[in-house]
Chain A
């Protein structure tokens, strides 16, 4: 219980830190969003309009502390500012529209990759030295060694352009607008397959080899030998005594991976012109869309922190030693 409270306090403090850094960083950059907006209109803005913009962005000449209070108030009330690129759409709307795509594509693919890699890692470690163990890690490493945007381009060229099996861009077809229909769902699925394969190939090897190595170390532990000696059935031995311990480091990597899910696989999304938050962030950087960048960063930071909180709590369920702080050796 104390552990959970500690984690929660840590979470709140780090959220506050992330929010504050997100406030400070743009203010340390030269220029301000209004000036950037001004430049965007080719300097054709009257001073009055300029002033109106400044007010709208919350860039008053208030003391910095007051600005901070206004900023926090805005965050809590959902007023995260307006995007330049899609002016005058609020950044929350832009993020809200692109986030589900990324969560769907990168999130599901990451889960598949984690489960497949971990499961196969257990299998090949158990059957160490057999055919699958001698081929799969090398093959997967070979694929992962290629830059994943390059893999994406190749897949796009071969299966999208040459064979025409899959669409070459976007998240869904123009004639099936987002709605809860089969047509849209299938269209989204078809659009998602190539980017999903790209992301899968780029991450699978890490999970596979990580789990295999953990397993081989754990299989050498005394408690596994002892359990084998006391007659535990092979399946239970591998799962409850070996894999159950070997999976712990994977959980930590998973926390980091969840953070990456929200930030999106930027390059993959760009290659496939996917409407996710990665592509959006890329566009925002190119357009110097400060409010959108700021909003996206905040969402990513919050997601990483939240993922870590969940994993910390999950970890304490999986490893009893964490709960007591590992007092006894």
Chain B
């Protein structure tokens, strides 16, 4: 596993938003690696810090957000030690990002052609317009859009086409890492599926790594090889995607998420939500941030931040695994769980 080359390394990364009522701890001490050619899913509910982390990696944080701790390296280079000039050329040629909002990521008053050509010419000033245009044609072919749409304006295209173009722009310079921040959220299910298939195809073809951010658990589990689960700004579990099912050892939060997924293939499965609300990031609970909602919360969970435990298929941050090593955990029966959730 460690023989592979990491394209993205997050070491103890913390991001804070300054607000009127004090600092908001959006991301806390995150450690995460994404290796070459790997698809890693990043899951969490709204406000768990997924998008903040994506923006932090790209160094695109807005004014009131700042990296307070840790380092972010892409292809071995510290993103935050670069000058603005270096950053401008580094970004997109080594790491790119597909934004959450496909509908608004394209400049409304510029043709598709100009927006793609701009990408090339900003990085390779010596490239002629003609050559850049030829590349744009190739790119559109790659995402299966007719080249006649080069002269179109964004408002003339459907949401799915726009997102394809955004993806095309993201892979234009063949980066080794593409961050996808809920790339299909704004699209309907059918288009969502076709875009996902296309991303998968492109990924195989071009071999870039993807950090795929989503709140759609089943989608990510299917799409990614490894999944990181975020809760209240922390990566609480980092698991092999194939093991993301009930009956395996997981963080109680992951367990809760798994129970909340409706499955069409199974009969008579009870769907359970996770009780309570995500914590207030201005005022995080002491110890494990999940303890107020956790059915297994013990005294230690309220006081001490849990350590990382290497389980069979996952890295988990939970006190449950403190004593019991070797996977001999006895999960509470369905009855006790239901009781605690109602």
Cβ B109 vs Cβ A230 within 8 A? no
Interface 1/0 per residue, A291-329 and B, CB below 8 Å: 000000000000000000000000000111100101011
A233 within 8 A of partner (CB):
yes
Q: How far is the CA of A207 from the CA of B110 in the complex (A)?
A: 24
Cβ A329 vs Cβ B110 within 8 A? no
Query: Pick the contact of A241 from B91, B92, B107, B169 — CB < 8 Å?
Result: B107
Q: How far is the CA of A313 from the CA of B110 in the complex (A)?
A: 18
B96 within 8 A of partner (CB):
yes
Residues in B whose Cβ lies below 8 Å from that of A244 = 107, 109-110
Give B57 Cβ to nearest chain A Cβ, in Å.
Answer: 11
Number of interface residues, chain A, beta carbon within 8 A: 25
Most buried by A among B105, B106, B107, B166: B107
**Nearest opposing residue in chain A for B100, CB measure:** A222
Give B290 Cβ to nearest chain A Cβ, in Å.
Answer: 32
Cβ A321 vs Cβ B153 within 8 A? yes
B155 within 8 A of partner (CB):
yes
**Nearest opposing residue in chain A for B158, CB measure:** A328
Cβ B156 vs Cβ A328 within 8 A? yes
Residues in B whose Cβ lies below 8 Å from that of A4 = none
A232 within 8 A of partner (CB):
yes
Cβ A228 vs Cβ B60 within 8 A? yes
**Nearest opposing residue in chain A for B119, CB measure:** A230
Q: How far is the CA of A326 from the CA of B155 in the complex (A)?
A: 8
B248 within 8 A of partner (CB):
no
Give B160 Cβ to nearest chain A Cβ, in Å.
Answer: 13
Q: How far is the CA of A320 from the CA of B158 in the complex (A)?
A: 16
Residues in A whose Cβ lies below 8 Å from that of B156 = 320, 324, 328
A229 within 8 A of partner (CB):
yes
Residues in A whose Cβ lies below 8 Å from that of B108 = 223, 245, 319-321
Cβ B88 vs Cβ A231 within 8 A? yes
Cβ B91 vs Cβ A231 within 8 A? yes
Residues in B whose Cβ lies below 8 Å from that of A318 = 109
Interface 1/0 per residue, B233-275 and A, CB below 8 Å: 0000000000000000000000000000000000000000000
Interface 1/0 per residue, B109-123 and A, CB below 8 Å: 110000100110011
Give A211 Cβ to nearest chain B Cβ, in Å.
Answer: 16
Contact A226:B155 (CB < 8 A) given known A231-B122, A233-B88: no
B37 within 8 A of partner (CB):
no
Cβ B92 vs Cβ A222 within 8 A? no
Give A127 Cβ to nearest chain B Cβ, in Å.
Answer: 13
Query: Pick the contact of B91 from A222, A229, A236 — CB < 8 Å?
Result: A229
Cβ A226 vs Cβ B166 within 8 A? yes
Contact A227:B107 (CB < 8 A) given known A232-B118, A232-B122, A236-B118: yes
B139 within 8 A of partner (CB):
no
Contact A231:B106 (CB < 8 A) given known A222-B99, A321-B155, A324-B155: no
Query: Pick the contact of A245 from B105, B107, B153, B158 — CB < 8 Å?
Result: B107
Cβ B92 vs Cβ A230 within 8 A? yes
Q: How far is the CA of A230 from the CA of B172 in the complex (A)?
A: 9
Query: Pick the contact of B169 from A228, A230, A240 — CB < 8 Å?
Result: A230
Judged by DSSP, the binding face of A is: helix
B211 within 8 A of partner (CB):
no
Cβ A226 vs Cβ B106 within 8 A? yes
Cβ A320 vs Cβ B109 within 8 A? yes
Cβ A233 vs Cβ B122 within 8 A? yes
Cβ B123 vs Cβ A231 within 8 A? yes
Residues in B whose Cβ lies below 8 Å from that of A245 = 107-109
Cβ A319 vs Cβ B109 within 8 A? yes
Cβ B155 vs Cβ A329 within 8 A? yes
B185 within 8 A of partner (CB):
no
Residues in A whose Cβ lies below 8 Å from that of B103 = 329
Q: How far is the CA of A222 from the CA of B105 in the complex (A)?
A: 5
B200 within 8 A of partner (CB):
no
**Nearest opposing residue in chain B for A225, CB measure:** B60
Cβ A221 vs Cβ B110 within 8 A? no
Cβ B118 vs Cβ A227 within 8 A? yes
Residues in B whose Cβ lies below 8 Å from that of A225 = 60, 99
Q: How far is the CA of A326 from the CA of B108 in the complex (A)?
A: 11
Query: Pick the contact of A222 from B96, B104, B158, B169 — CB < 8 Å?
Result: B104
Q: How far is the CA of A320 from the CA of B107 in the complex (A)?
A: 11
A96-118 residues with Cβ-Cβ distance < 8 A to B are none
Residues in B whose Cβ lies below 8 Å from that of A240 = 107, 110, 118
Cβ A231 vs Cβ B92 within 8 A? yes
**Nearest opposing residue in chain A for B159, CB measure:** A329
Residues in B whose Cβ lies below 8 Å from that of A228 = 60
B68 within 8 A of partner (CB):
no
Residues in B whose Cβ lies below 8 Å from that of A229 = 58, 60, 91-92, 96-97
B101 within 8 A of partner (CB):
yes
Cβ A226 vs Cβ B109 within 8 A? no
Give A215 Cβ to nearest chain B Cβ, in Å.
Answer: 15
Residues in A whose Cβ lies below 8 Å from that of B92 = 229-231
Question: What residues of chain B have their CB less than 8 Å away from a CB belonging to chain A?
Answer: 58, 60, 88-89, 91-93, 96-97, 99, 101, 103-110, 115, 118-119, 122-123, 153, 155-158, 166, 169, 172
Chosen A-B contacts, 18 in total, with CB atoms closer than 8 Å, are A222-B99, A223-B106, A225-B60, A226-B99, A229-B92, A230-B122, A231-B89, A231-B92, A231-B119, A232-B119, A236-B122, A240-B107, A240-B110, A241-B110, A244-B109, A320-B153, A321-B109, A321-B153
Question: What residues of chain A have their CB less than 8 Å away from a CB belonging to chain B?
Answer: 221-223, 225-233, 236, 240-241, 244-245, 318-321, 324, 326, 328-329
Please provide the 6 A-B residue pairs with the shortest distance between their CB atoms, ordered closest to farther.
A320-B153, A222-B104, A231-B122, A226-B105, A223-B107, A231-B92
Q: A222-B99, A231-B92, A329-B103 are in contact. List 11 more A-B contacts (CB 8 A).
A: A222-B105, A230-B91, A230-B122, A230-B169, A231-B91, A232-B118, A241-B107, A245-B109, A320-B108, A328-B155, A328-B158
